Structure 1
Amino acid sequence: MKHYDYLVVGAGLFGAVFAHEAAKKGKKIKVIEKRDHIAGNIYTKEVEGIQVHEYGAHIFHTSEKEIWDYVNQFAEFNRYTNTPVANYKGEIYNLPFNMNTFNKLWGVVTPAEAATKIAEQRAVLGGKTPENLEEQAISLVGTDIYEKLIKSYTEKQWEKPCTELPAFIIRRLPVR
């Protein structure tokens, strides 16, 4: 029976990096991976000279130069700035929600004005603790943003009404 210092399950970013670094320190590693490749969900394959994400877009991002340099020693990563937007009835809105979003919706120009508008809309909850995704979203960004930019997308994604989804799903909704 072979002896291993570590058993690593999954060769995604964490598993592959851990196994590599431990092996460099002389440890014996056994890596188990269900797929026939490393890199987990950020794996790409070349199609007609273009690297295509096998499992949908999974973007690696860091602001740490040391980490960027580390991962680039194993593969060439293209620099990419993710700038998502939402199209609601022909109007384009920034995501994550930020002052541009609030200005376009309400004409506000300061964070204080946006906070006031959200607080006014949050009042529909009557101060109760959110019990589902709809209530949690309204408590974070108000009714306008919920109705225009969250509700339909979320219900399509989860195939359930937002009132039937747990609040925790959206608690980390980024607002900038």
Structure 2
Amino acid sequence: MFGATFAYEAAKRGKRVKVIEKRDHIAGNIFTKEVDGIQVHQYGAHIFHTSNKEIWDYVNQFATFNRYTNSPVANYKGTMYNLPFNMNTFNKMWGVRTPQEAMDKINEQRQEMAGKTPQN
């Protein structure tokens, strides 16, 4: 997105711009292709987010963005856990209620794993 934005802004200011893409498609890592009517994110999912109003207004001149909150979960042995890890995750895993309790549990597990190589 940086290269495309730079080229666009340079052209707006009267600069000559030539964009060269090494791949056989545009959009870099945010390229999306349609397969059987489904939009497929070739390089993995991409979510644009910002809390900066100026940036939000800028990108909305090119496309209408919708409000989206990414809230992934993991299903481990039938129990759902929030990802990325947060206090709710730690509470469900260990029953802890404070950040200090969570840190204590993490440090306990670090000591148990000291010198060991995880097998999965």
Verify same fold: TM over 0.5: yes
Give 1:5's aligned residue. Answer: none
Structure 1 segments (4+ residues) deviating >4 Å: 44-48
Query: Using CA pairs below 8 Å that are at least 6 residues apart, which structure has the higher relative contact order?
Result: 1
Give 2:24's aligned residue. Answer: 35
Give the Cα separation in 2 of the matches to 1:30 and 1:104.
Answer: 53
Distance 1:41 1:98, change over 3 A: same
Alignment root-mean-square deviation, CA: 2.6
SS at match of 2:19: strand
Identity %: 67
Distance 1:81 1:110, change over 3 A: same
Give 1:110's aligned residue. Answer: 98
1:21-170 alignment to 2 at 5 Å? 21-33=9-21, 34-37=23-26, 39-44=27-32, 52-55=39-42, 56-126=44-114, 134=118
Contact 2:87–2:99 (Cα < 8 Å) also in 1: yes
Number of residue equivalences:
118
Q: State the shift of 1:65 in Å.
A: 1.3
Q: What residue identity is the alignment partner of 1:30? A: K
Q: State the shift of 1:42 in Å.
A: 2.8
Give the Cα separation in 1 of the matches to 2:35 and 2:69.
Answer: 22
- Larger helix share, 1 or 2: 1
Q: State the shift of 1:111 in Å.
A: 0.4
Using the size of structure 1 for normalisation, the TM-score is: 0.58
Contact 1:19–1:29 (Cα < 8 Å) also in 2: yes
Give the Cα separation in 2 of the matches to 1:104 and 1:66.
Answer: 39
Structure 1 alignment gaps of length 5 or more = 1-12, 135-160, 163-176
Give the Cα separation in 1 of the matches to 2:34 and 2:111.
Answer: 52
Give 1:19's aligned residue. Answer: 7
Using the size of structure 2 for normalisation, the TM-score is: 0.81
Contact 1:22–1:29 (Cα < 8 Å) also in 2: yes
Structure 2 alignment gaps of length 5 or more = none
Q: Once the two structures are superposed, what CA deviation does each residue of 1:48-88 show, in whole Å capped at 9, x if it has no partner?
A: 9x882442421111111111111111122222110000000
